[in-house]
Amino acid sequence: MADDLIGKTIGGYEIQDVIGRGGMATVFRAHQVSMNRTVAVKVLPEQYVTDDTYIQRFNQEVAIVSKLEHRSIVPVHDYGEYNGQPYIVMRYMAGGSVDDLLKNGSIELETVANIIEQIAPALDYAHSKQVLHRDIKPSNILLDDDGGAYLTDFGIARVLGEPAHSGITTQGVVGTPSYMSPEQAQGLPLDGRSDIYALGVVLFELVTGRRPFESDTPYGIAVLQVTAPPPSPRTLNPGLSFAVEEVIFKALRKKREERFPNAVALSESLKRALNKPVMSMHDTQPGFQRPTAPESASPSPPPQPVVTAMPLQPAYGTPLVPPMNPSLTSSNYSQVYPPVRRKKRPGNVWASAALGGLIGCGLLALVVLIITIIISNINQPARVSPTAPVQGPSTSDGSGEDQSGTIPTLDPTSAAARDNLIPSATQAATPVIAPVGVRATEVVNETLQAIGGGLVYFDYRNDNYDIYKIDLATGVETRLTTDEHVDDYPAVSPDGQTIVFQSNRDGDFDIYAMDIDGNNVRQLTNNTVLDNVPGWSPDGTQIIFSSDTRNNGTFDIYSMRPDGSGLQQIFSNNQRNSHPRYNPDMSVLVFTTGAPRDSSQWEIGRYELASQNYTLMTNNDTRDRSPAFSPDGQQILFLTSGIGDQKAAGDSALAVMNADGTNARIIYDGVGLEWGADYSPDGQYISFSTVAASTGRDEIFIMKVDGSNIVQVTNQGGQVASWIPGEG
C-alpha cells in the first residue's frame, strides 16, 4: 500500500501525507531534510515495479521533463529508487491543481485567462522541443501559492520523430477520453494541435463548470469527441460573451487545420475576447462557424473512433460538483403511460439522425450527431467459422482466500506476477499469470470450465464494432455480426436463445434481435430517435431499454415483447434514465438517472411498478451508474466513482449494495476504469471490462462475487459481456 510510506524517509525525503493518486503513481508531500523545504514526491506503487509498462512510462516522464526547462513547467529536483520503487521529486505546489478550483463550479473568466496565459507558452515550448503532452486536463495544471500556474505530468507524453515504444503506448489510444482530440480518439498521427484541442476542452470546463462531452463509458465519450458538435458554452454560462464562445469553438474544431495554430494564439484571442461586451457587432458578423444543433447538423457519415485502449485515469482527474437534490415524486408524472407514438421514417431517403455517445455499462450520453445514410434492407450476416481458441487468459489473486471485506489490490492490468509467467502450450508468445508453483493454463482452463456457459460481447476489430461470443469451456470465439454498421451492447435472453443489441444500421440507433448463433437478425424498434442498452426481464417475456423520446438527451424507459410488439413507456421524469434492469420478481426497476449533460450527478434510481413509487438509492457527489440485480435479488451491482472518502482509481470501480440501498461498498478497484459489469446466471461470478496491460485493449475479465480469483477471458479485445446460461 502506498500509505505505508507515510512517516518513512526515502532518499533524504521525509514522507508526510498523500496529496494525489493517479493511475500509475501516488504523489506525497514530503520534507527535504538537506534543503529544509517542502517537496512533492511521486512514487510508483510497489505492485507495479515488475510491470515494464509502468516502469517505462515513469522513466519516460523523467527523461522528458529533464530537458524541458520552462518557468511554467513543474521542475523536477531529483530522481531515485526506494526498495525498488522509483520516485520523482518535484517542486511542491501549495495551491493544488486547477481541478481543485473546479470543485465549486466554474471559475471567474479573468482567473481562467490568467491560467491559460501562463500555460500556453509552456505548451508551445514543449511543442518546440517536439514533445506532445497528450494528457492536458485540469488535474495536470498545478498552482503555487501566488497564482502561478504550471504544467505537469508528462507520463504519456510523446517525442515527435521517435518510434512509439510498444511497451509504453501499447495498442490503440492513450490519454483521458474527456480531453482527447478527435484524431487522438481515433488513434491517428498527432501533432501539437491535438494538445490545443485538449486546452480548448479545459477552457470550456473552466468557464462552464462541466466538460463539453459526457457519457457513461470511454467509448461513448470518444464517439462524441469525433462526431458531436460541442454544446454552446453560453447556454451553460449566460454571462459569457459571444466572442469568448467563438474562441472556445475554434479551439474545439474537429479538423485540426481549423484550430488555433498554437496555444499562445488561443490565449491572445481569449484576452481580446475578454474586452468585448456580451453583445457586440462582432458577435453577429461571420467569423468562426458555430456548430449547428444535432438536429440540423451536416449529414456526413461520422468516422468511427478507435477506443480499444483506454487510459489509466487518475481518480482526482474528475472534478467534483454539488450533489443533486431532486424534489421529484410520483406526482410529477401521470399514473398510466400510454404507448408512445413512434414516427416511421420514409424509405429510400437521406436521413439525419442523432448519434449519441454509445454507452457502456449501459448508459448513454446526449443526442449528438447526424449520420447521412441511405436506408437499406437489413441483410443477415454471413456466418463466420469459429476462430481458433483464445489463448493466454490470465488470472490474478489466485489464492482464493477470503479477503474479509477488503478490496483486492492486485489489478488484472498489472504484471505483478512477472516471475510466474508461463507460455501457453499452443501460443508461446502470449504469457499467462498463475499462482506460484501452478501451471497457469491449467488453472485458467479449470476455472472457466467450472463456470460453464459462455459470454456474448462487442468489440472494435476489423475497422468495425461487431458482436462476438466465446465458449468458456473451450475458449472458442465466434464472430456473430459482420454488418458494416455499429452493433454493440448485446444482452442474452434468460433461455440463452436470443440476443438483443443496439445498432445504427438504418441511420440511428434502434434495438435489434438475432438468434444466439447470429442468424435471423430482425429490427425491433424503428424511429428517428436514439434507443439504447436493451435488457431482458427475468422471465424472458419483455425487453426493456431507454429511448431519447424528445430528442433532447433525456431518456425514458420502455418495454416491449421479444418480437417488438406491445411497446409501452414505463418511466419518465424528464431526466436521463438509462440501463434499466428488473429485480427477479419484476416488481422493481433500477436504472441510472440524472441530468442529461452532467454525468457527475448521475445516481441509481429505483421504481416500484405497482405503487409507481420512485426513489434515489444513491444521492451523493459521486457518479453512480449501470445497476444490475443479483439473480437472487438480494444485492445490486453498480459502477461508482467513489463511496465516502474512497475514490475510484480510474473514475470507475465495481461496487455492490443491498437491495434496499444499504451497505454500499466497493468490491474491486483496479488502476484503470472498470465497466460493463454483470452477474453470472448462478450469481457466483461477475464479468466486467477493463484495459489489460498484455494487450492494451479493453478485455473481458471474470471474478468471484467477492472480488477474488480474477481471470482474463479474452485477449483480442472485449467490451460489455452478457452471460449465456450454462450448467456451471
Q: What is the pLDDT of residues 310-362, one digit of tens each?
A: 332 322 222 222 222 222 222 222 222 233 333 333 333 333 333 333 333 33
For the domain 330-724, what is the CATH superfamily, name and number? TolB, C-terminal domain (2.120.10.30)
What is the structure's pLDDT at 160? Answer: 61
C-alpha 635/C-alpha 627 separation (Å) is 10
Residue 627's pLDDT band, with cuts at 50, 70 and 90, is very high
CATH of 2-91, one of 3.30.200.20, 3.40.630.10, 3.90.1580.10, 3.40.50.720: 3.30.200.20
Residues recognised as catalytic: 135
Mean pLDDT of the chain: 75
CATH 1.10.510.10 positions along the chain are 98-212+230-291
pLDDT tens string 263-278: 999 999 999 988 765 4
**In the predicted structure, residue 623 carries a pLDDT above the cut 80:** yes
Mean pLDDT of 115-133: 93
Residue 162's pLDDT band, with cuts at 50, 70 and 90, is low
**Beta strands at 13-21 and 675-679: parallel, antiparallel or unpaired:** unpaired
What is the structure's pLDDT at 313? Answer: 30
What is the structure's pLDDT at 89? Answer: 92
Which residues is 457 bridged to in the sheet?
468
Tell me which H or E stretch contains 544: strand 543-547
What is the structure's pLDDT at 362? Answer: 39
C-alpha cell at 601: 450527478
Please tell me what DSSP assigns to residue 78: E
**In the predicted structure, residue 382 carries a pLDDT above the cut 60:** no
The separation between the first and the last C-alpha atoms of the chain, rounded to the nearest angstrom, is 35
Q: Which of 61-70, 201-210, 255-264, 662-671 has the lowest mean pLDDT?
A: 61-70
What is the structure's pLDDT at 159? Answer: 64
**In the predicted structure, residue 679 carries a pLDDT above the cut 60:** yes
What is the structure's pLDDT at 708? Answer: 86
Q: Which of 30-34, 103-107, 629-633 has the lowest mean pLDDT?
A: 103-107
Mean pLDDT of 92-96: 91
CATH 2.120.10.30 positions along the chain are 330-724
What is the structure's pLDDT at 318? Answer: 26
What is the structure's pLDDT at 522? Answer: 97
Residues 6+ apart with CB under 8 A from 313: 23, 176, 650, 651, 672, 673
Residue 174's pLDDT band, with cuts at 50, 70 and 90, is low
pTM value is: 0.52
Q: Check residues 703 and 295 and name the one with the higher pLDDT.
A: 703
Mean pLDDT of 15-26: 82
What is the structure's pLDDT at 644? Answer: 87
Mean pLDDT of 237-245: 86
What is the structure's pLDDT at 349? Answer: 30
Name the phi and psi angles at 274, rounded to 5. -65, -30
C-alpha 25/C-alpha 79 separation (Å) is 14
Helix (H, G, I), strand (E, B) or coil at 138: helix
Residue 164's pLDDT band, with cuts at 50, 70 and 90, is very low
Q: Which of 28-37, 232-241, 341-350, 552-561 has the lowest mean pLDDT?
A: 341-350
What is the structure's pLDDT at 158? Answer: 65
**In the predicted structure, residue 28 carries a pLDDT above the cut 70:** yes
CB 316 within 8 A of CB 647: yes
pLDDT tens string 704-725: 998 888 888 998 889 999 999 8
Q: Report how far apart, in Å, the C-alpha atoms of 126 and of each of 9, 68, 673 are.
A: 33, 7, 29
CATH 3.30.200.20 positions along the chain are 2-91
Q: Report whether CATH 1.25.40.80 matches the domain 98-212+230-291.
A: no
Please give the sequence-ordered ranges of beta strands (E in DSSP) within 196-320, or none if there are none: none
C-alpha 623/C-alpha 603 separation (Å) is 6
What is the structure's pLDDT at 153? Answer: 83
What is the structure's pLDDT at 2? Answer: 56
**In the predicted structure, residue 391 carries a pLDDT above the cut 80:** no
pLDDT tens string 563-618: 999 999 999 999 999 999 999 999 999 999 998 877 777 999 999 999 999 999 99
pLDDT tens string 513-567: 999 999 999 999 999 889 999 999 999 999 999 999 888 889 999 999 999 999 9
CB 446 within 8 A of CB 705: no
Mean pLDDT of 175-201: 92
Burial 582-600 (b: 16+ CB within 10 A, else e): bbbeeebbbbbbbbbbbbb
